Amino acid sequence: MNALIPRPRTRPAPGAVHVPGWLSAEEQRHLVRACREWAGGPVPIRHTRLPRGGVMSVRTVCLGWHWQPYRYTRTADDVNGGRVAEFPGWLGDLGRRALADEYEDPRAGETYAPDTALVNFYDGQARMGMHQDKDERTGDPVVSLSIGDTCVFRFGNTETRGRPYTDVELASGDLFVFGGPSRFAYHGVPKVLPGTGDPATGLASGRLNITLRVTGLT
Ligand SMILES: O=C(O)CCC(=O)C(=O)O
Ligand SMILES: [Fe+2]
């Protein structure tokens, strides 16, 4: 249904681009299969615990580097002590292609070398508060891919959690990149819209989000 209504590419802030319908149906199915495998381990997907005792409503599994609030480590000391799965080469290729398409310049992504991915699963109730992605030591862009149920993605400014911000609907297959002056902008997911995803992706319900990042760590 929604596919009948073309959704144009938008730039909610300088350095931030939303490219609707970027992933093909086959790429979405492939990513769902891969996420299902990563969710099983070596470090199983889990609700991240926050330092002050809270628990995030999304479930997360990491590749390459393990993220826990508020640092990256090689082993998942807050889960099972295991080493996270390798960051696969094909996911880096996808990230480079995302930047090339985002900038509409085939060379733009050439030097982009993401070394970590956070895979987030949202059920109908899950959300994510406004935050900055700032535990990376580089200013390289974050590439975000969405599959499954549509969500409201709130993209703000670098100064405060509040306004000005723009609410963007991220649907299955959408690409969102934030870099440059928007790299450290606050963003969050106030709402997932249950029942909006297509089960043909392999995801019967809920939303997957995969963000690719460059940690700058060795
Ligand atoms: O789910 C999303 O679209 C955003 C996820 C996010 O901001 C994060 O993992 O840091
Ligand atoms: Fe984030």
- What is residue 205's predicted lDDT score, i.e. its pLDDT? 97
Residue ranges of domains in the chain:
9-213
DSSP state of 201: G
Residue 56: CB atoms within 10 A of its CB come to 17
pTM of the model: 0.97
Ligand nearest to the CA of 212: 1
Query: Atom 3 in ligand 1: which residue has the minimum CA distance?
Result: 209
Q: Best of 62, 175, 209 to mutate for ligand 1, by most ligand atoms within 8 A of CB?
A: 209
User: CA-CA distance, 82 to 67, in Å (whole number)?
Assistant: 13
Q: Is 31 helix (H, G, I), strand (E, B) or coil?
A: helix
- What is residue 6's predicted lDDT score, i.e. its pLDDT? 84
- Residue 86 and residue 142 in contact, taking contact as beta carbons nearer than 8 Å: no
Write out the two tokens for 40. Answer: 């099983």
Ligand nearest to the CA of 153: 1
Q: Which residue ranges make up the annotated binding site for Fe cation?
A: 131, 133, 187
The 3-state secondary structure of 46-74 reads EEEECCCCCEEEEEEEEECCEEECCEEEC
List CB-based neighbours of ion ligand 2 within 5 Å: 133
User: Cβ < 6 Å from ligand 1: which residues?
Assistant: 118, 120, 128, 133, 144, 153, 170, 187, 189, 209, 211
pLDDT tens digits for the chain (218 residues)? 456 788 999 999 999 999 999 999 999 999 999 999 999 999 999 999 999 999 999 999 999 999 999 999 999 999 999 999 999 999 999 999 999 999 888 888 999 999 999 999 999 999 999 999 999 999 999 999 999 999 999 999 999 999 999 999 999 999 999 999 999 999 999 999 999 999 999 999 999 999 999 999 99
Q: Best of 118, 154, 174, 213 to mutate for ligand 1, by most ligand atoms within 8 A of CB?
A: 118
- What is residue 1's predicted lDDT score, i.e. its pLDDT? 47
Class of domain 9-213: mainly beta
- What is residue 3's predicted lDDT score, i.e. its pLDDT? 63
ipTM associated with this complex: 0.99
CA of 110 to the centre of ligand 2 (A): 23
- Atom index in ligand 1 nearest the CA of residue 146 equals 3
